[in-house]
Structure 1
Amino acid sequence: MASKSDQLLIVVSILEGRQFPKSSRHELVVQAKFDGEQLATDPVEHKDKPQFCTELAWELDRRTLHQHRLQRTPIKLQCYAVDTVTSAKESLGYIVLDLRSVQEVKQPPKWFPLLSSKYKKLKPEILVSVVLENDTKQAPDQFKAKEAPPRQGSPRFSNLVTGPLAAILKEDEGYHQIGPEDRCIDLFVLSVTVAFATKLEQLIPNTMKLSQEGSEFFFYYTLLGNDITSEPFHNLISPNFEPERASVRIRSSDSVLRAYLSQQPNLQIHLCCGNHSLGSTEISFSGLLKGGVEFERQPATVEGAFTLVPPNRAKLKLPAIPPDLQPTLGVSITLRREGVNPQLGSPGKSVDGSPVKKGSVSPLPPRSPPPEQRPCTPLSPRRSPIPSHDSPEPRHASLHTESEAESLLEDPGLAQPIPAVAGPSVPSDGQVHIQLEAPVSSVSVSAPKISIPSSAHHFCFSMDLRSIRDMDVGFPVNCTLRYSYQFFGSVAPIMTNPPVEVQKNMEVFLPQSYCAFDFAALPHQLQDTFLRVPLVVEVWHKDPTARDLLLGTVSIQLSHLLASEKTRFLGPSGQQHWRQTFSDRIPVMKARGPNEKVAELCYVTTLEDLGLVKAQDIVISESLQNVPPDPQRTGPPPQKHHSVPAAPDEPPGPRETLEYKAALELEMWKEEQEDLFDNQLKQKELSHMKALAEEWRKRDREREALVKKKEMEYNLLEEQLQKTLADLEKRERLLAHAEMETQRLQREMRAEHEFSMRELQDSGRRLREDCAHQVELERSKVRQLEEERSRLQQQTQDAENKYKQLEKEFQQFRDQQNTRPEIRLQSEINLLSLEKVELERKLESTTKSKLHYKQQWGRALKELARFKQREQENAMMRLKKQQQELEHMRLRYLASEEKEAVKTEKQELEEIRNELNRLKQQEETRPWKDTAGVPQNDSADDHLSRLLEERDTLLRTGVYTHEDRIIAELNRQIQEAMAQRGGPHHQ
């Protein structure tokens, strides 16, 4: 395994998003996947700027990180839109993060756009930050109980160190094996002794009420994975408890054991009250290895008075405790070779034969809750259920401490309905102690007992969640209900199973909704708890494809049950008991958002008072667990049956009859029971008075200790207040000086402001004058431009009139030229010659194209045969793409040709104009009849030849055919040119 410094965390911070559309029906969820592990954020509103504010982390070491970087393992973020009604998920896009760019230095977050986004127009983005952090372990001031070793039937080992060494429990032989069995054959004994404690009242927080947590205190620590608790004590001012030593046998060698102890974390010892740790101290095992002690000859010892530190003093910034008032704990840790005299005090007797005093413990079975939630003390009396003979599993592990008693009492199986009371084993106001028979183990414990108070009552509480109706959440619900009430002795939740489907405007009866709790408590404790603590029932929606959804909660006030009418009933032995029943329909309120009603719950509660339980001390063994005791133990003893001798023949007297003797015996037994009852009442009264007096004295001492502690804290606070007042006076003087300086600066700023305002006014006036002058100049320029515009419009009109006149004259001149017969014949000859040439060119081009196409078709068939099977689909796609590109190229080329044709026509028109001008000049010098026809015919022939050449060039490229638009246009122009040339001959 990697060392602690090699452990890293890849932390992906998903902060917020932007450019998302708003949707009231959907919620946004981002799922991150890395190395096969998937994490997700909580659902947020589907709006323009969703706020995720979530950190997702993966654990790995540096070697694994290097491998992922070599393999380019990505971190993929997938964004989903979840329908709040149907719970359907729709992918909106994804983001891929490169692990190679992640550094241990924190980088500013970046905006990443969603790839393959559903909203392509909006282009949504998410703000993400990725960083590598060191995987720091739990702080030493946080209290956390360790996980216990496994129960019977599970693997018999536990790795307690991070290195190659591990402690393996050999329960049958009674020791822990550290190192290889063939080499490590020496036996050692590791002992921890809690000797004394002082100034413990300094650890009581001001906000803690001891009446709520119980008045018992004890010490808790873990030794080789075994949870160990000391005997409870009540007085914190002068704690009076016997020194307790816990020992464990270890089979190893000197060198291996030294290496194992050097890897062990510090031993943490906690002072506990109920489920709370009031303070803790740490003792290092490395002290056993100092000084070169040889375990063969003498034991290694670490002992002294260690300071107990409150768990949250540094976090709450409380004043430090003076050295003379610091709470201390006397602890001794001893490691010796088995057989070496430990030279300790009065030795006790352990299971393995080593001298030990009471308090030694054995390995414990695992707890069902996780270690973070496990309390360090057994349950208080009012939470302890009465043990049942049909417990889910036999308790025959090994000797258990008080922590295991708590584990057994908090077993979720005991929270199920108890059909009958197995015996009057009711816990007392103190701590529950259980002694179970077990095989030999490496750790020993003293014999605990169950102490039962005389005034405790046996109660049976039952809850029946009948039905639920009027469910109004907008979608069908797979409904299940869950609740827990620790006062009944079980922290495991009670759930209705299986889930039932509930729709709007319907009532559904809940399956397996009845649960009964048998427990023992004092009546005033029951009333106080029912009045203060409501029973909260949660309504959940079980979704097989998504996370369970909490729909609402309902608080059931159990005080209504106490106010209901009491009815009598007889027990199985004829005893008189009391029963109270209450039923009601109450609304289920929405869990999140506004306080709205989402459903209505019908329930029935029943409380049965089964009377007092006889005060006694019980030692529990396997026989008590396997054989249920007589359920009539709390009732009167059975009547005695005497053997009566046979009567003579004469009738007996009235006092000699069996009925009279039985009645007399019954009356005598009644008087005896009344006397016993009176004596018991007197004894109970005396014991109660003594307990009240002792409790009053103890509370008085605690109040005095708290008053002293408060006085010390008030003195410290008074010193801090005086120091703060001095600082405030100094700050007040500084503020007065700063105020005078501020007033001076204000005067200077005011003068500067007035000067700047005057300058601004002068510059504004100058700017206005300049602007007025510029506007006048622009207006004059506009008038001149208007006059120039009118003059240019007149010139344009004159030029257009002149152009129309010239065009009319040119048309007349053209008509005159076309009427000459010799010119018309010459034009027809030229036209026929051109047509002949054109037909010859077409024939040659067609022949060449046919041969070329045959060759190309042969090559194409060969290529198609070679690539048809493996690239048919790709070839089709490429062909389609090429066709599209050719079409685009043809269209572009056609457009360019059309532009070129237009340009060419414009040039021809310009040449015609120039030619007309030249002809007009010639007409002035010589008769036009001699020379006019030849240039006109030459120009038309050149134009016709150019059109034919362009058409043939385009056809020879093989890209165009006679059906294309540009070829058709050229043919039309050729026909027009030929028609113009041949016009005079056809008239």
Structure 2
Amino acid sequence: MTAKTDQLLIVVSVLEGRHFPKRPRLSLVVQASFDGEQLATDPVEHREQPQFSTELAWELDRKTLHQHRLQRTPIKLQCFTLDPVSQKQENVGYIVLDLRSVQEVRQDPRWYPLLSSKYTKQKPALLIRMMLENDSRTSQPSPERFKAKKAPPRPGSLSGSVPVPDPLQAQLVPEQGYHQVGPADVCRDMFVLSVTVAFTTNLEQLVPSTKKLSSEDSGFFFYYSLLGNDITSEPFQNLLRPDFEPERASVRIRSSKQVLQVFLSQQPALQVHLCCGNHSLGSAEVPLSVLAAASVFVDVKPATVEGAFTLQPLRRTKLPDLPADLQPTVGVAITLRREEGPLQPSEEKSSPAAPRLPDPPPAEQDPPDSSAHRPADLPPGPPALPQSHTESAAESLLEEVHKEPTGASDDEAPLLHQPETTSSSISVSAPKVSIPSSAHHYCFSLDLRSLGKFSLPQPISAMLRYSYPFFGSAAPIMTNPPVELQRNTQVNLPQSFCAFDFAALPHQLQDTFLRVPLLVELWHRGSSSRDQLIGRASILLSHLLSSSRSRTVGPSGEQSWKQTHQDQIPVVHLQRSTEKVAELSYEATLEDLGFIRPKQVVVSESSQRDVPACPQPSAHPAAPLSTRDTPEYRAALELELWKEEQEDQFDDQLKQRELRHMQALAEEWKKRDAEREALVRKKELEFSLLEDKLQKTLSDLETREKHLAEAQLQTQRLQRQLQSEHELTQKELQEAGRRLQRESDHRVELERDKVRLMEEERARLLQQITDAEARYKHLEREFQKYREEQNHRPEIRLQAELNLLTLEKVELERKLESSTKSKLHYKQQWGRALKELARFKQREQENAAARLKRQEAELEAMKLRYLATEEKEAVRQDRQELDDIRNQLNRLKKQEDRLGPAPSDPAPSSNLNESSEEHLSRLLEERDTLLRTGVYTHEDRIIRELNTQIQEVLRDRNL
């Protein structure tokens, strides 16, 4: 376990882009912002696939990282276009990265599309990788902090001197129990590569809600392949509460540190699958390249890659977006260490050879049956334990191996395969074999008959390869020699029959056959290049268990059960699992030969003579009879001779029947071969016609593609032309709008100036009205004073005063006429102002309509007030004149009354009464008229003055 540093680096690698338009005049820049800090890439050429190749990093500690993940702080990338001449930037789009998905392992880069992109038709995207790195600068001494590391050796060379194959391969050395990586004469150091599956979290997220989270039959288990060895963990039954012990699988590697680094850097990521039966629910990838980088100091301490890796479901299912604490994970640790001490010859383990394919039979012989390759008895020890077993399983097997056969019981854990050696550092002697008494002797045979329906265009030299460690060996079994496989042809596979004898418990056999399929790989053996894996077929051995069983009798009379299954399965492509490459025809047979029986030990006669005879009850026993002379022996001998005779006759009958069947099969084969040849010729003719038709169709398609390309170019040209016209029209409209806006603003300013002048004129007129009212009050006071003085002047001055009043009357009439003319003049000005306002309202736009309405309403109110003021002034002047006349008349009347009535002139009195009546009626009519208009009330000054005058007239009449 490597210690984790507290200081981290968030590294965002901006690699490249795609689907960008080509704009040679501009450059592209990606700016990243996180936690208030901004970083940017160097400007690159604006083309279809811009190459950034820039890493942006931020420093922080683990506590701050945890807080940012809780707050879901994003990393925002903004893409800008940069004009190198004007240095103008334009935002093209942005990308938001989730900080919670960043892990401390190297992940594959992903394509992120630009959001709110300016280029909506082409949908540009950026290739980005995110990861967390330990900031090792804090733990290194300051003088060597910036010391460059030594570059790893180039692929294909060892320290620049010894050539090694490229790519490197791990070759199994079964006699020594290790894998050889690199040249054996140079790479002599021993290493141990261990994989530990420690814990799991949230596995239930991988199973849809419609399925159960527990498995009653085969359970759930983890599966991965380590250097070609398939490894499975102990099964557990419930995903909600996975109960399994951490298991470690180790392999020994003989190599050197430099070559091993190159080998690990070339290896793909280790895929750990969560399986249920034959199905994978999800897989996690653990990169081995990180282990290669960490193995620089493997001489000092072991190199380790560990962590909780997210389990991703299969392609056909989609895992919903879940927070980081709900993601299904598996805890995996991969450790590379140097093995303690050199490899001694006494510690080297030996392994029996893997099952070999039978020798090819002669051309005239019949195909061999399963008994031709089955050993007569079980070997002293079954094949060695395959490398796929974990170390915990190896330790339990080692304990079983060291037990005496007499100590074995049915309650002990049965051994599926008995190994000679259980791990790379343990050797076990072969004679110590412990097999449970309930184990059965099984024989499994597999006949890979033919390959057909090949879909690839180039012919290949086909060779099949498979291995099934359950049968006792992990060594691969291959068909030899390779056969030429062409498109849409079928070929028979030579030397493709192989049989395996092994011992196992029935429930172990069923569990393994139901859970682990037999994978057959299709390889192409090149004459000048290395072998190439074409596809893989999966043989489900569970079909063999569900097939019908038949009883067979062996040569010695023992009974056995036999099950046979024939099928045709597809060989699928490695990368594209839905693509079918070829079709494999096979036949699998399983024979249950019953319980394992110990071998009978034949004791020779010489040894029997040494055995003392049984004591007799009599004191003088008689000499014992010979065994051959007893009647039981003779009867048994005759019975055995009769059995042998019957068996010979039965064998002769079987051979004759077999000969007849083979002749019938040969005739039927010839007949069907002729039919197949006729069918092939017919199909060839049909295929030639279809090929001609296809060629014609292809030529038509090429012509159509040319037309479509020309039409597309024409469409693009028209589109660019329309775009330019649209931009020109848009600019013209914007310029016209700005010009109209300026004209409207100028007109509004002119109208505002006119309104301001009219407001000033209105204020001036109001000031004149105020001044006139002040003069009126002043004259009223003077008149009141004059009136009081007149009351005390003698009568002789009345005539002069009357003349003066007459002159004043004339002056007032002149003023009244002048006021009337002024009123008419003001009315004309007001009309002109209304006309000007009407024209202004007509020229105004919609945005000034409401304001003009308010101004018109204010002007209308001002007009009413002005008219009311003018009318009030005219009425006041008229009333003043009338009051003056009435007062003069009243004074004259009083004077006449004091002087006495003139007998010769009674008419003036009646005339005065009539004028007072008219004056009173006129005052009443004026007051009522003003009140009916609604503009004046009884509280207004003019109404109060009219009431006062009416009361005075009434009072004068009463006098």
TM-score, length-scaled by structure 1: 0.26
Higher RCO (CA 8 Å, separation ≥ 6 residues): 1
Report the structure number with the largest CA radius of gyration.
Answer: 2
TM-score, length-scaled by structure 2: 0.26
